[in-house]
């Protein structure tokens, strides 16, 4: 599985657990792997798989551990986001954008294998796919401030 695919699965899991209290995060994350395959029909009539969890146990274990670690760091991540997001505290942000920002910031601060530029680029790509029309610029602007805030 590619890093991009893993990142997208991680985003979906983190988004899902974001609706539950921290003590339920692990149980909710586990639900992700039990979810049935889901598809959707595009405007042009082609079918697109939007959810399919067909991965090796090692990949599942990696995702579980990553989401658990991110979940424990949410207060720290949100604090850093609130410092640079002028007029946009995390409590006012959309869930999609907030999840993307948390994941990208986590990669920037805690994953030495992911260069900051890659984390930002991947976050913008996720925003294009899952966010609103202004999401990519919003994500890019906040993450750019976090690079210079070090």
- How would residue 36 be classed by pLDDT, with cut points 50, 70 and 90? low
Assess whether pLDDT exceeds 70 at residue 15: yes
| pLDDT > 70 fraction of the chain, expressed in percent and rounded | 93
Say what the pLDDT of residue 51 is.
61
Instruction: Give the pLDDT confidence of 91-123 residue by residue, as tens digits.
Output: 899 999 999 999 999 999 999 999 999 999 999
Whole-number average pLDDT of the chain: 88
Instruction: Give the pLDDT confidence of 56-77 residue by residue, as tens digits.
Output: 899 989 999 999 999 999 999 9
As given in the structure block, the two tokens for residue 84 are 């640079």
Q: Which of 33-47, 106-120, 125-139 has the lowest mean pLDDT?
A: 33-47
> Which of 31 and 7 is assigned the larger pLDDT?
7
Q: Which helix (H) or strand (E) holds 116?
A: helix 116-130
CATH level 3 topology of 3-148: N-utilizing Substance Protein B Homolog; Chain A (1.10.940)
As given in the structure block, the two tokens for residue 143 are 């993450």
What separation in angstroms does the CA of 27 have from each of 22, 31, 33, 68? 10, 7, 11, 10
Rounded Cα gap, residues 51 and 70, in angstroms: 22
Angle at the Cα of 106 from the Cα atoms of 84 and 33, rounded to 5 degrees: 135
Q: Answer yes or no: are the C-beta atoms of 62 and 54 closer than 8 Å.
A: no
User: pTM of the entire structure?
Assistant: 0.86
Say what the pLDDT of residue 107 is.
96
Assess whether pLDDT exceeds 60 at residue 150: no
Residue 72 contacts by C-beta under 8 Å, 6 or more apart in sequence?
Answer: 22
| Residue 133 per-residue DSSP state | T
Instruction: Tell whether the torsion through CA atoms of 45, 50, 51 and 55 is positive or negative.
Output: positive
Say what the pLDDT of residue 148 is.
58
Say what the pLDDT of residue 98 is.
96
Residues paired with 39 in a beta bridge: 49
The 3-state DSSP class for residue 22 equals helix
């Amino acid at each position: 599985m590619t890093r991009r695919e893993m990142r997208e699965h991680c985003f979906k899991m983190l988004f899902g657990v974001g609706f539950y209290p921290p003590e339920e995060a692990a149980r909710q994350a586990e639900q992700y792997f039990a979810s049935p395959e889901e598809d959707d029909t595009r405007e042009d009539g082609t079918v697109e798989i939007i959810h399919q969890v067909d991965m090796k146990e090692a990949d599942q274990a990696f995702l579980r551990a990553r989401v658990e670690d991110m979940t424990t760091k949410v207060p720290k991540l949100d604090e850093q986001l609130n410092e640079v997001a002028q007029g946009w505290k995390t409590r006012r942000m959309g869930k999609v954008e907030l999840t993307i920002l948390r994941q990208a910031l986590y990669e920037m601060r805690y994953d030495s294998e992911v260069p900051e530029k890659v984390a930002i680029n991947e976050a913008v790509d996720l925003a294009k796919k899952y966010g609103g029309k202004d999401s990519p610029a919003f994500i890019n602007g906040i993450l750019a401030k976090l690079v210079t805030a070090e």
